[in-house]
Protein backbone atom coordinates (compact mmCIF):
# COMPACT_ATOMS: atom_id res chain seq x y z
CA UNK A 1 0.00 0.00 0.00
CA UNK A 2 2.78 2.44 0.92
CA UNK A 3 4.54 1.72 -2.38
CA UNK A 4 1.38 2.80 -4.22
CA UNK A 5 1.10 5.95 -2.13
CA UNK A 6 4.69 6.84 -3.01
CA UNK A 7 3.79 7.26 -6.70
CA UNK A 8 1.32 10.02 -5.84
CA UNK A 9 3.70 12.28 -3.94
CA UNK A 10 3.91 16.04 -4.31
CA UNK A 11 5.27 18.26 -7.06
CA UNK A 12 8.89 19.02 -7.91
CA UNK A 13 8.65 22.47 -6.26
CA UNK A 14 7.69 20.87 -2.96
CA UNK A 15 10.66 18.49 -3.30
CA UNK A 16 12.97 21.52 -3.61
CA UNK A 17 11.29 23.18 -0.61
CA UNK A 18 11.73 20.04 1.49
CA UNK A 19 15.32 19.74 0.30
CA UNK A 20 16.12 23.19 1.72
CA UNK A 21 14.45 22.38 5.06
CA UNK A 22 16.22 19.02 5.24
CA UNK A 23 19.62 20.58 4.54
CA UNK A 24 19.13 23.06 7.37
CA UNK A 25 17.89 20.27 9.64
CA UNK A 26 20.91 18.06 8.88
CA UNK A 27 23.38 20.86 9.59
CA UNK A 28 21.78 21.71 12.93
CA UNK A 29 20.35 18.44 14.18
CA UNK A 30 21.84 15.67 12.07
CA UNK A 31 23.95 12.78 13.28
CA UNK A 32 27.16 14.82 13.25
CA UNK A 33 25.68 17.19 15.86
CA UNK A 34 25.17 14.40 18.39
CA UNK A 35 28.83 13.65 18.99
CA UNK A 36 30.40 10.23 18.71
CA UNK A 37 27.30 8.07 18.74
CA UNK A 38 28.58 6.24 15.65
CA UNK A 39 31.33 4.67 17.74
CA UNK A 40 28.70 2.69 19.73
CA UNK A 41 27.86 -0.33 17.59
CA UNK A 42 24.84 -1.43 19.59
CA UNK A 43 22.83 -0.38 22.62
CA UNK A 44 21.63 -3.83 23.67
CA UNK A 45 21.34 -7.46 22.65
CA UNK A 46 18.14 -9.19 23.69
CA UNK A 47 17.65 -12.90 23.07
CA UNK A 48 19.49 -12.83 19.74
CA UNK A 49 18.15 -9.47 18.56
CA UNK A 50 20.38 -6.41 18.44
CA UNK A 51 19.10 -2.95 19.38
CA UNK A 52 21.24 -0.44 17.50
CA UNK A 53 22.17 2.91 18.95
CA UNK A 54 20.02 4.52 16.25
CA UNK A 55 16.97 2.54 17.41
CA UNK A 56 17.67 3.45 21.02
CA UNK A 57 18.00 7.12 20.06
CA UNK A 58 14.66 6.80 18.25
CA UNK A 59 13.04 5.44 21.43
CA UNK A 60 14.47 8.18 23.64
CA UNK A 61 13.35 10.79 21.13
CA UNK A 62 9.79 9.47 21.10
CA UNK A 63 9.87 9.40 24.90
CA UNK A 64 10.72 13.11 24.83
CA UNK A 65 13.99 12.96 26.77
CA UNK A 66 16.63 13.15 24.07
CA UNK A 67 17.20 16.89 24.25
CA UNK A 68 16.27 17.65 27.85
CA UNK A 69 18.63 19.97 29.66
CA UNK A 70 18.91 18.05 32.92
CA UNK A 71 21.81 16.66 35.00
CA UNK A 72 23.49 13.62 33.49
CA UNK A 73 22.68 11.44 36.50
CA UNK A 74 18.95 11.97 35.92
CA UNK A 75 19.35 11.59 32.16
CA UNK A 76 20.97 8.18 32.65
CA UNK A 77 18.05 7.11 34.85
CA UNK A 78 15.52 8.26 32.22
CA UNK A 79 17.39 6.43 29.45
CA UNK A 80 17.46 3.32 31.64
CA UNK A 81 13.66 3.41 31.84
CA UNK A 82 13.47 3.66 28.03
CA UNK A 83 15.85 0.71 27.78
CA UNK A 84 13.55 -1.29 30.08
CA UNK A 85 10.63 -0.56 27.74
CA UNK A 86 12.66 -1.79 24.76
CA UNK A 87 13.67 -4.95 26.59
CA UNK A 88 10.06 -5.67 27.49
CA UNK A 89 8.96 -4.97 23.91
CA UNK A 90 11.45 -7.50 22.55
CA UNK A 91 10.58 -10.17 25.13
CA UNK A 92 6.86 -9.84 24.51
CA UNK A 93 7.34 -9.81 20.74
CA UNK A 94 9.44 -12.99 20.93
CA UNK A 95 6.80 -14.74 23.01
CA UNK A 96 4.07 -13.62 20.61
CA UNK A 97 5.96 -15.22 17.72
CA UNK A 98 6.43 -18.40 19.75
CA UNK A 99 2.64 -18.51 20.24
CA UNK A 100 2.14 -18.25 16.48
CA UNK A 101 1.19 -14.58 16.17
CA UNK A 102 2.26 -12.82 12.96
CA UNK A 103 1.95 -9.23 11.74
CA UNK A 104 1.33 -8.71 8.01
CA UNK A 105 2.64 -5.77 6.00
CA UNK A 106 -0.97 -4.74 5.36
CA UNK A 107 -1.65 -4.50 9.10
CA UNK A 108 1.34 -2.17 9.49
CA UNK A 109 0.40 -0.09 6.44
CA UNK A 110 -3.19 0.28 7.55
CA UNK A 111 -2.12 1.62 10.91
CA UNK A 112 0.33 4.10 9.35
CA UNK A 113 -2.13 5.33 6.75
CA UNK A 114 -4.64 5.97 9.53
CA UNK A 115 -2.09 8.34 11.03
CA UNK A 116 -0.75 6.48 14.06
CA UNK A 117 2.26 4.47 15.14
CA UNK A 118 3.36 2.61 18.28
CA UNK A 119 6.46 3.29 20.36
CA UNK A 120 7.33 1.93 23.80
CA UNK A 121 3.89 0.33 23.94
CA UNK A 122 2.02 3.61 23.46
CA UNK A 123 0.18 5.03 20.39
CA UNK A 124 1.43 8.28 18.82
CA UNK A 125 0.13 10.47 15.96
CA UNK A 126 2.00 10.45 12.63
CA UNK A 127 3.02 13.49 10.58
CA UNK A 128 0.43 14.54 7.97
CA UNK A 129 0.40 16.77 4.91
CA UNK A 130 -1.13 20.24 4.87
CA UNK A 131 -4.39 18.75 3.65
CA UNK A 132 -4.44 16.33 6.58
CA UNK A 133 -3.91 13.32 4.32
CA UNK A 134 -1.18 10.70 4.38
CA UNK A 135 1.92 11.50 2.30
CA UNK A 136 4.56 8.81 1.80
CA UNK A 137 7.40 11.18 0.95
CA UNK A 138 6.61 13.32 3.97
CA UNK A 139 6.63 10.18 6.15
CA UNK A 140 9.98 9.10 4.65
CA UNK A 141 11.62 12.43 5.39
CA UNK A 142 10.07 12.64 8.84
CA UNK A 143 11.28 9.24 10.08
CA UNK A 144 14.68 9.77 8.46
CA UNK A 145 15.46 13.18 9.90
CA UNK A 146 13.52 12.96 13.14
CA UNK A 147 14.62 9.45 14.10
CA UNK A 148 17.46 8.51 11.75
CA UNK A 149 15.48 5.56 10.33
CA UNK A 150 14.44 4.40 6.90
CA UNK A 151 10.77 3.67 6.26
CA UNK A 152 11.60 -0.04 6.08
CA UNK A 153 13.28 0.05 9.48
CA UNK A 154 10.46 2.15 10.91
CA UNK A 155 7.95 -0.44 9.65
CA UNK A 156 9.99 -3.24 11.23
CA UNK A 157 9.84 -1.36 14.52
CA UNK A 158 6.06 -1.25 14.13
CA UNK A 159 6.02 -4.99 13.50
CA UNK A 160 7.81 -5.60 16.82
CA UNK A 161 5.50 -3.16 18.63
CA UNK A 162 2.38 -4.80 17.19
CA UNK A 163 3.64 -8.26 18.12
CA UNK A 164 4.22 -7.11 21.71
CA UNK A 165 0.74 -5.56 21.70
CA UNK A 166 -0.73 -8.86 20.46
CA UNK A 167 0.72 -10.63 23.48
CA UNK A 168 -0.60 -7.95 25.84
CA UNK A 169 -4.08 -8.44 24.35
CA UNK A 170 -3.68 -12.18 24.69
CA UNK A 171 -2.80 -11.77 28.36
CA UNK A 172 -5.88 -9.59 28.73
CA UNK A 173 -8.07 -12.51 27.70
CA UNK A 174 -6.62 -14.50 30.60
CA UNK A 175 -7.76 -11.95 33.21
CA UNK A 176 -10.79 -13.09 35.19
CA UNK A 177 -12.53 -11.19 37.98
CA UNK A 178 -15.74 -12.20 39.73
CA UNK A 179 -18.26 -9.63 40.90
CA UNK A 180 -17.62 -10.56 44.52
CA UNK A 181 -13.86 -10.05 44.04
CA UNK A 182 -14.41 -6.55 42.67
CA UNK A 183 -16.91 -5.75 45.40
CA UNK A 184 -14.44 -6.82 48.09
CA UNK A 185 -11.82 -4.58 46.49
CA UNK A 186 -14.30 -1.68 46.45
CA UNK A 187 -15.07 -2.17 50.15
CA UNK A 188 -11.38 -2.31 51.06
CA UNK A 189 -10.49 0.83 49.09
CA UNK A 190 -13.49 2.82 50.31
CA UNK A 191 -13.43 1.94 53.99
CA UNK A 192 -11.57 4.70 55.80
CA UNK A 193 -9.98 4.98 59.21
CA UNK A 194 -8.57 7.76 61.38
CA UNK A 195 -5.91 7.13 64.01
CA UNK A 196 -4.55 8.92 67.05
CA UNK A 197 -0.90 8.09 67.54
CA UNK A 198 2.13 8.84 69.70
CA UNK A 199 5.61 8.70 68.21
CA UNK A 200 8.55 7.49 70.31
CA UNK A 201 11.92 8.38 68.80
CA UNK A 202 14.96 6.19 69.23
CA UNK A 203 17.32 9.12 68.59
CA UNK A 204 17.64 10.15 72.24
CA UNK A 205 18.39 6.58 73.29
CA UNK A 206 21.42 6.32 70.96
CA UNK A 207 23.45 8.47 73.37
CA UNK A 208 22.63 6.17 76.29
CA UNK A 209 24.17 2.96 74.94
CA UNK A 210 27.55 2.02 76.39
CA UNK A 211 30.46 1.63 74.00
CA UNK A 212 32.04 -1.83 74.25
CA UNK A 213 34.51 -2.70 71.48
CA UNK A 214 34.55 -6.42 72.29
CA UNK A 215 30.77 -6.63 72.00
CA UNK A 216 30.84 -4.63 68.76
CA UNK A 217 33.35 -7.02 67.19
CA UNK A 218 31.14 -9.93 68.21
CA UNK A 219 28.14 -8.10 66.70
CA UNK A 220 30.08 -7.56 63.44
CA UNK A 221 30.88 -11.28 63.26
CA UNK A 222 27.23 -12.22 63.83
CA UNK A 223 25.96 -9.69 61.26
CA UNK A 224 28.69 -10.06 58.65
CA UNK A 225 26.45 -9.66 55.58
CA UNK A 226 24.71 -6.61 57.05
CA UNK A 227 28.07 -4.98 57.85
CA UNK A 228 29.37 -5.72 54.34
CA UNK A 229 26.26 -4.23 52.70
CA UNK A 230 26.53 -1.11 54.89
CA UNK A 231 30.17 -0.68 53.80
CA UNK A 232 29.29 -1.05 50.10
CA UNK A 233 26.39 1.41 50.35
CA UNK A 234 28.41 4.00 52.29
CA UNK A 235 31.93 3.38 51.03
CA UNK A 236 32.60 7.04 50.23
CA UNK A 237 32.11 7.86 53.94
CA UNK A 238 35.26 5.82 54.66
CA UNK A 239 37.46 7.29 51.93
CA UNK A 240 39.92 10.21 51.97
CA UNK A 241 39.55 10.80 55.70
CA UNK A 242 41.73 13.39 57.46
CA UNK A 243 43.58 12.41 60.65
CA UNK A 244 40.85 11.60 63.15
CA UNK A 245 40.78 10.48 66.77
CA UNK A 246 38.14 8.68 68.86
CA UNK A 247 38.27 9.65 72.55
CA UNK A 248 36.87 8.48 75.85
CA UNK A 249 36.70 11.15 78.53
CA UNK A 250 35.67 12.09 82.04
CA UNK A 251 34.85 15.75 82.63
CA UNK A 252 34.77 17.56 85.98
CA UNK A 253 33.34 21.04 85.64
CA UNK A 254 34.83 23.93 87.58
CA UNK A 255 31.92 25.51 89.40
CA UNK A 256 33.42 28.13 91.69
CA UNK A 257 36.05 26.17 93.63
CA UNK A 258 38.78 25.24 91.13
CA UNK A 259 40.84 23.36 93.70
CA UNK A 260 37.90 21.19 94.75
CA UNK A 261 37.21 20.30 91.12
CA UNK A 262 40.86 19.38 90.60
CA UNK A 263 40.87 17.11 93.68
CA UNK A 264 37.72 15.36 92.42
CA UNK A 265 39.30 14.84 88.99
CA UNK A 266 42.47 13.42 90.60
CA UNK A 267 40.38 11.04 92.71
CA UNK A 268 38.54 9.80 89.61
CA UNK A 269 41.86 9.39 87.78
CA UNK A 270 43.16 7.29 90.65
CA UNK A 271 40.09 5.01 90.44
CA UNK A 272 40.53 4.43 86.68
CA UNK A 273 44.32 3.98 86.84
CA UNK A 274 43.73 1.56 89.71
CA UNK A 275 41.71 -0.74 87.44
CA UNK A 276 38.10 0.47 87.67
CA UNK A 277 36.55 0.57 84.17
CA UNK A 278 36.66 4.08 82.74
CA UNK A 279 33.16 3.61 81.24
CA UNK A 280 31.75 2.82 84.69
CA UNK A 281 33.36 5.90 86.27
CA UNK A 282 32.29 8.15 83.39
CA UNK A 283 28.72 6.86 83.54
CA UNK A 284 28.49 7.65 87.24
CA UNK A 285 30.68 10.74 87.64
CA UNK A 286 31.34 12.62 84.37
CA UNK A 287 29.81 16.09 84.04
CA UNK A 288 29.73 15.83 80.22
CA UNK A 289 26.09 14.90 79.67
CA UNK A 290 26.56 14.28 75.94
CA UNK A 291 29.05 11.44 76.46
CA UNK A 292 28.19 10.14 79.94
CA UNK A 293 25.54 7.72 78.67
CA UNK A 294 28.02 6.02 76.33
CA UNK A 295 30.59 5.58 79.10
CA UNK A 296 32.49 8.72 78.08
CA UNK A 297 33.00 7.75 74.41
CA UNK A 298 32.53 10.54 71.88
CA UNK A 299 32.27 10.49 68.08
CA UNK A 300 35.23 10.77 65.73
CA UNK A 301 36.93 14.18 65.77
CA UNK A 302 39.57 15.74 63.51
CA UNK A 303 42.81 15.42 65.44
CA UNK A 304 43.94 18.98 64.70
CA UNK A 305 40.67 20.44 66.02
CA UNK A 306 38.93 17.98 68.38
CA UNK A 307 36.58 20.59 69.81
CA UNK A 308 38.06 21.18 73.28
CA UNK A 309 40.06 24.03 74.79
CA UNK A 310 42.81 24.64 72.15
CA UNK A 311 45.56 24.19 74.74
CA UNK A 312 44.49 20.54 75.11
CA UNK A 313 44.98 19.76 71.39
CA UNK A 314 48.80 19.18 71.54
CA UNK A 315 48.38 17.02 74.66
CA UNK A 316 45.82 14.83 72.89
CA UNK A 317 48.06 14.56 69.80
CA UNK A 318 50.86 13.11 71.98
CA UNK A 319 48.57 10.64 73.77
CA UNK A 320 49.13 6.98 72.84
CA UNK A 321 46.23 4.62 72.14
CA UNK A 322 44.71 3.04 75.28
CA UNK A 323 46.99 5.09 77.56
CA UNK A 324 45.26 7.16 80.26
CA UNK A 325 46.15 10.85 80.17
CA UNK A 326 47.02 12.77 83.34
CA UNK A 327 44.39 15.18 84.66
CA UNK A 328 44.34 17.99 82.08
CA UNK A 329 43.16 21.48 82.96
CA UNK A 330 41.01 23.58 80.62
CA UNK A 331 39.35 26.93 81.15
CA UNK A 332 36.09 25.62 82.62
CA UNK A 333 36.83 21.98 83.48
CA UNK A 334 39.33 19.26 84.23
CA UNK A 335 39.56 16.26 81.88
CA UNK A 336 40.80 12.71 81.84
CA UNK A 337 41.25 11.27 78.31
CA UNK A 338 41.96 7.97 76.65
CA UNK A 339 42.47 7.48 72.89
CA UNK A 340 40.33 4.56 71.71
CA UNK A 341 41.41 4.68 68.06
CA UNK A 342 42.91 6.78 65.28
CA UNK A 343 42.22 6.67 61.56
CA UNK A 344 42.96 8.46 58.26
CA UNK A 345 42.95 7.89 54.52
CA UNK A 346 40.93 5.08 52.93
CA UNK A 347 39.51 2.48 55.30
CA UNK A 348 39.06 -1.15 54.32
CA UNK A 349 36.02 -3.12 55.46
CA UNK A 350 38.09 -4.64 58.26
CA UNK A 351 39.18 -1.21 59.46
CA UNK A 352 35.63 0.17 59.34
CA UNK A 353 33.68 -2.80 60.71
CA UNK A 354 33.69 -1.69 64.37
CA UNK A 355 32.29 1.74 63.45
CA UNK A 356 29.67 0.11 61.20
CA UNK A 357 28.77 -2.42 63.88
CA UNK A 358 28.43 0.42 66.39
CA UNK A 359 25.96 2.27 64.18
CA UNK A 360 23.91 -0.86 63.46
CA UNK A 361 24.01 -1.95 67.10
CA UNK A 362 22.90 1.49 68.30
CA UNK A 363 20.02 1.36 65.81
CA UNK A 364 18.85 -1.96 67.25
CA UNK A 365 19.32 -1.09 70.89
CA UNK A 366 17.83 2.40 70.65
CA UNK A 367 14.65 0.97 69.10
CA UNK A 368 14.45 -1.49 72.00
CA UNK A 369 14.70 1.43 74.45
CA UNK A 370 11.98 3.37 72.60
CA UNK A 371 9.76 0.28 72.47
CA UNK A 372 10.20 -0.30 76.20
CA UNK A 373 9.13 3.28 76.85
CA UNK A 374 6.08 2.84 74.61
CA UNK A 375 5.15 -0.41 76.35
CA UNK A 376 5.18 1.37 79.71
CA UNK A 377 2.58 3.85 78.47
CA UNK A 378 0.63 1.09 76.70
CA UNK A 379 0.30 -0.80 79.96
CA UNK A 380 -1.32 2.27 81.53
CA UNK A 381 -3.63 2.72 78.52
CA UNK A 382 -4.78 -0.88 78.64
CA UNK A 383 -5.45 -0.42 82.34
CA UNK A 384 -7.91 2.35 81.52
CA UNK A 385 -5.96 5.61 81.27
CA UNK A 386 -6.73 7.77 78.25
CA UNK A 387 -4.02 8.71 75.78
CA UNK A 388 -5.13 12.36 75.93
CA UNK A 389 -4.44 12.33 79.68
CA UNK A 390 -0.97 10.82 79.25
CA UNK A 391 0.12 12.93 76.26
CA UNK A 392 -0.56 16.45 75.03
CA UNK A 393 -3.04 16.52 72.11
CA UNK A 394 -1.54 18.40 69.16
CA UNK A 395 -4.59 20.64 68.73
CA UNK A 396 -5.15 21.46 72.41
CA UNK A 397 -5.61 25.19 73.04
CA UNK A 398 -6.01 26.88 76.37
CA UNK A 399 -9.09 29.03 76.72
CA UNK A 400 -8.09 32.57 77.70
CA UNK A 401 -10.86 32.81 80.31
CA UNK A 402 -9.98 29.44 81.83
CA UNK A 403 -6.32 30.37 81.93
CA UNK A 404 -7.11 33.54 83.87
CA UNK A 405 -9.46 31.76 86.30
CA UNK A 406 -7.99 31.17 89.79
CA UNK A 407 -6.89 27.57 90.36
CA UNK A 408 -9.37 27.07 93.23
CA UNK A 409 -12.32 28.24 91.09
CA UNK A 410 -11.15 26.05 88.16
CA UNK A 411 -10.96 22.98 90.40
CA UNK A 412 -14.39 23.72 91.88
CA UNK A 413 -15.93 23.90 88.40
CA UNK A 414 -14.70 20.41 87.40
CA UNK A 415 -16.32 17.04 88.24
CA UNK A 416 -14.86 15.26 91.26
CA UNK A 417 -13.05 12.59 89.23
CA UNK A 418 -11.20 15.27 87.21
CA UNK A 419 -9.82 16.96 90.32
CA UNK A 420 -7.95 13.84 91.43
CA UNK A 421 -4.21 14.07 91.16
CA UNK A 422 -2.87 12.55 87.94
CA UNK A 423 0.70 11.83 86.79
CA UNK A 424 2.10 14.71 84.73
CA UNK A 425 1.62 14.50 80.99
CA UNK A 426 4.47 13.36 78.81
CA UNK A 427 5.90 16.08 76.53
CA UNK A 428 5.27 13.71 73.62
CA UNK A 429 2.44 14.79 71.31
CA UNK A 430 -0.76 12.88 70.70
CA UNK A 431 -1.29 13.41 66.96
CA UNK A 432 -4.13 12.47 64.61
CA UNK A 433 -4.09 11.28 61.01
CA UNK A 434 -6.52 12.36 58.33
CA UNK A 435 -9.05 9.77 57.20
CA UNK A 436 -7.28 7.22 54.97
CA UNK A 437 -8.12 4.07 53.03
CA UNK A 438 -6.42 0.71 53.28
CA UNK A 439 -3.36 0.66 51.04
CA UNK A 440 -1.65 -2.43 49.65
CA UNK A 441 1.63 -0.61 50.17
CA UNK A 442 0.80 -0.07 53.84
CA UNK A 443 1.30 3.70 53.74
CA UNK A 444 -0.27 5.34 56.79
CA UNK A 445 -0.32 9.17 56.62
CA UNK A 446 1.91 10.84 59.19
CA UNK A 447 3.47 7.52 60.18
CA UNK A 448 4.98 5.75 57.19
CA UNK A 449 4.88 2.36 55.53
CA UNK A 450 3.85 -0.58 57.71
CA UNK A 451 1.48 -3.27 56.50
CA UNK A 452 1.23 -4.62 60.03
CA UNK A 453 0.13 -1.25 61.40
CA UNK A 454 -2.22 -0.74 58.43
CA UNK A 455 -3.90 -4.08 59.15
CA UNK A 456 -4.30 -3.20 62.83
CA UNK A 457 -5.89 0.16 61.93
CA UNK A 458 -8.74 -1.64 60.17
CA UNK A 459 -9.28 -4.35 62.79
CA UNK A 460 -9.50 -2.11 65.88
CA UNK A 461 -12.82 -1.00 67.27
CA UNK A 462 -13.56 2.71 67.59
CA UNK A 463 -11.74 4.13 70.63
CA UNK A 464 -9.61 0.98 71.04
CA UNK A 465 -5.85 1.20 71.58
CA UNK A 466 -3.76 -1.38 69.69
CA UNK A 467 -2.43 -4.04 72.10
CA UNK A 468 1.18 -3.61 70.98
CA UNK A 469 3.50 -0.84 69.82
CA UNK A 470 4.60 -0.79 66.15
CA UNK A 471 8.13 -0.19 64.89
CA UNK A 472 8.35 1.81 61.65
CA UNK A 473 11.96 2.47 60.69
CA UNK A 474 13.69 3.84 63.78
CA UNK A 475 10.43 5.08 65.33
CA UNK A 476 7.93 3.34 67.61
CA UNK A 477 4.19 4.11 67.63
CA UNK A 478 1.21 3.63 69.90
CA UNK A 479 -2.05 3.87 67.94
CA UNK A 480 -5.74 4.22 68.75
CA UNK A 481 -8.67 4.07 66.33
CA UNK A 482 -10.47 7.41 66.45
CA UNK A 483 -13.04 6.89 63.71
CA UNK A 484 -14.00 4.63 60.84
CA UNK A 485 -16.14 5.29 57.77
CA UNK A 486 -17.54 2.23 56.01
CA UNK A 487 -17.81 1.91 52.22
CA UNK A 488 -21.02 3.17 50.62
CA UNK A 489 -22.56 0.07 49.04
CA UNK A 490 -25.19 2.15 47.23
CA UNK A 491 -22.29 3.71 45.30
CA UNK A 492 -21.11 0.20 44.45
CA UNK A 493 -24.55 -0.69 43.09
CA UNK A 494 -24.65 2.44 40.87
CA UNK A 495 -21.12 2.07 39.47
CA UNK A 496 -20.75 -1.71 39.45
CA UNK A 497 -20.17 -2.17 35.70
CA UNK A 498 -17.60 0.63 35.47
CA UNK A 499 -15.84 -0.60 38.62
CA UNK A 500 -15.58 -4.13 37.24
CA UNK A 501 -14.15 -2.80 33.97
CA UNK A 502 -11.60 -0.62 35.82
CA UNK A 503 -10.64 -3.49 38.12
CA UNK A 504 -10.05 -5.86 35.18
CA UNK A 505 -7.94 -3.20 33.46
CA UNK A 506 -5.78 -2.69 36.55
CA UNK A 507 -5.40 -6.43 37.06
CA UNK A 508 -4.42 -6.85 33.40
CA UNK A 509 -1.80 -4.08 33.68
CA UNK A 510 -0.40 -5.67 36.83
CA UNK A 511 -0.31 -9.12 35.23
CA UNK A 512 1.55 -7.80 32.17
CA UNK A 513 4.15 -6.11 34.39
CA UNK A 514 4.63 -9.24 36.50
CA UNK A 515 4.84 -11.42 33.39
CA UNK A 516 7.42 -9.13 31.77
CA UNK A 517 9.50 -8.92 34.95
CA UNK A 518 9.54 -12.70 35.36
CA UNK A 519 10.53 -13.14 31.68
CA UNK A 520 13.30 -10.59 32.05
CA UNK A 521 14.69 -12.26 35.17
CA UNK A 522 14.74 -15.65 33.43
CA UNK A 523 16.49 -14.23 30.38
CA UNK A 524 19.04 -12.43 32.57
CA UNK A 525 19.88 -15.66 34.42
CA UNK A 526 20.41 -17.36 31.08
CA UNK A 527 22.65 -14.43 30.04
CA UNK A 528 20.49 -13.68 27.01
CA UNK A 529 20.30 -9.94 27.73
CA UNK A 530 23.32 -7.64 27.54
CA UNK A 531 23.33 -3.86 27.71
CA UNK A 532 26.03 -1.52 26.46
CA UNK A 533 26.36 0.96 29.38
CA UNK A 534 27.84 3.60 27.02
CA UNK A 535 24.46 3.87 25.28
CA UNK A 536 22.94 5.40 28.40
CA UNK A 537 25.51 8.21 28.69
CA UNK A 538 25.58 11.42 26.66
CA UNK A 539 28.47 11.25 24.14
CA UNK A 540 31.40 13.33 25.31
CA UNK A 541 30.16 13.56 28.89
CA UNK A 542 33.00 13.93 31.40
CA UNK A 543 31.99 12.86 34.93
CA UNK A 544 32.73 15.07 37.91
CA UNK A 545 34.79 13.06 40.41
CA UNK A 546 33.22 14.96 43.30
CA UNK A 547 29.74 13.71 42.35
CA UNK A 548 30.80 10.07 42.20
CA UNK A 549 30.01 7.51 39.49
CA UNK A 550 26.83 7.58 37.42
CA UNK A 551 24.10 5.11 38.43
CA UNK A 552 24.45 1.60 37.03
CA UNK A 553 21.65 -0.04 35.07
CA UNK A 554 19.97 -3.23 36.25
CA UNK A 555 17.75 -4.48 33.38
CA UNK A 556 14.01 -4.46 34.15
CA UNK A 557 14.54 -2.93 37.59
CA UNK A 558 11.77 -0.42 36.86
CA UNK A 559 9.32 -3.33 36.64
CA UNK A 560 10.14 -4.73 40.08
CA UNK A 561 7.60 -4.25 42.84
CA UNK A 562 8.88 -1.66 45.27
CA UNK A 563 9.60 -2.98 48.80
CA UNK A 564 7.10 -1.95 51.47
Q: Mind listing the pLDDT tens digit for each residue in 104-150? A: 999 999 999 999 999 999 999 988 888 878 888 999 999 998 888 99
| β-strand partners of 335 | 251, 328
Run of H or E residues at 46 = strand 44-46
- Identify the pLDDT of residue 1: 52
How far CA 532 is from CA of 44, 80, 389, 464, 536, in Å, comes to 6, 11, 63, 57, 8
| Count of C-beta atoms within a 10 Å radius of residue 12 | 7
- Identify the pLDDT of residue 128: 84
**Cβ-count burial 299-335 (b if 16+ within 10 Å, e if not):** ebeebeebebeeebeeebeebeeeebbebbbeeebbb
| β-strand partners of 146 | none
The Cα–Cα gap between 269 and 264 comes to 9
- Identify the pLDDT of residue 562: 60
Q: Yes or no: say if 190 and 487 are a contact pair by the CB < 8 Å rule.
A: yes
**DSSP letters along 324-371, please?**
BP--EE-SSEEEEEEEEEEEEEPPPHHHHHHHHHHHHHHHHHHHHHHH
Q: Yes or no: say if 163 and 97 are a contact pair by the CB < 8 Å rule.
A: yes
The Cα–Cα gap between 59 and 83 comes to 8
> What is the distance in angstroms between the CA of the first residue and the CA of the last residue of the chain?
52
Q: Mind listing the pLDDT tens digit for each residue in 156-166? A: 999 999 999 99
- Identify the pLDDT of residue 197: 97
Low-confidence ranges of the chain (pLDDT < 50): 4-38, 398-412, 416, 419, 563-564
The Cα–Cα gap between 393 and 396 comes to 5
Run of H or E residues at 190 = helix 179-190
Angle between helical axes of 278-285 and 258-273 (0-180°, round to 10): 150
How far CA 305 is from CA of 308, 317, 326, in Å, comes to 8, 10, 20
- Identify the pLDDT of residue 67: 62
Q: What is the pTM of this model?
A: 0.64
- Identify the pLDDT of residue 375: 96
**DSSP letters along 516-540, please?**
HHHHHHHHHHTT-EEE-GGGGS-TT
Amino acid sequence: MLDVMRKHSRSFIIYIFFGIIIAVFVVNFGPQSAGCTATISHAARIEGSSISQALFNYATSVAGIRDRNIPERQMVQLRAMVMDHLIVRELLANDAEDLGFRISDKEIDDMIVKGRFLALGQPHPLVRGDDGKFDYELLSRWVRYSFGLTVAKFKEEQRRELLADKLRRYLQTQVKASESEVKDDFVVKNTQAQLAYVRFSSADARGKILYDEAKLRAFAAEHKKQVEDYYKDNKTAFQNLPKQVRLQLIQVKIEGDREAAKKKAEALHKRVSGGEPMSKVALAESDDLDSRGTGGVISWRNEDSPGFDPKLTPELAKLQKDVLSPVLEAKDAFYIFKVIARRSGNLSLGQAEVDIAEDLHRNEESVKVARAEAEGYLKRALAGEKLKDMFTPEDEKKDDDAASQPASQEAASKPADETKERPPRSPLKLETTNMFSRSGKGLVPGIGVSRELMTAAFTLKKGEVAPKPFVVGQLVYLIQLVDRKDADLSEWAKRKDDLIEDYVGQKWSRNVREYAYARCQTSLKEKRISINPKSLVTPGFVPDKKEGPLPTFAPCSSLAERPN
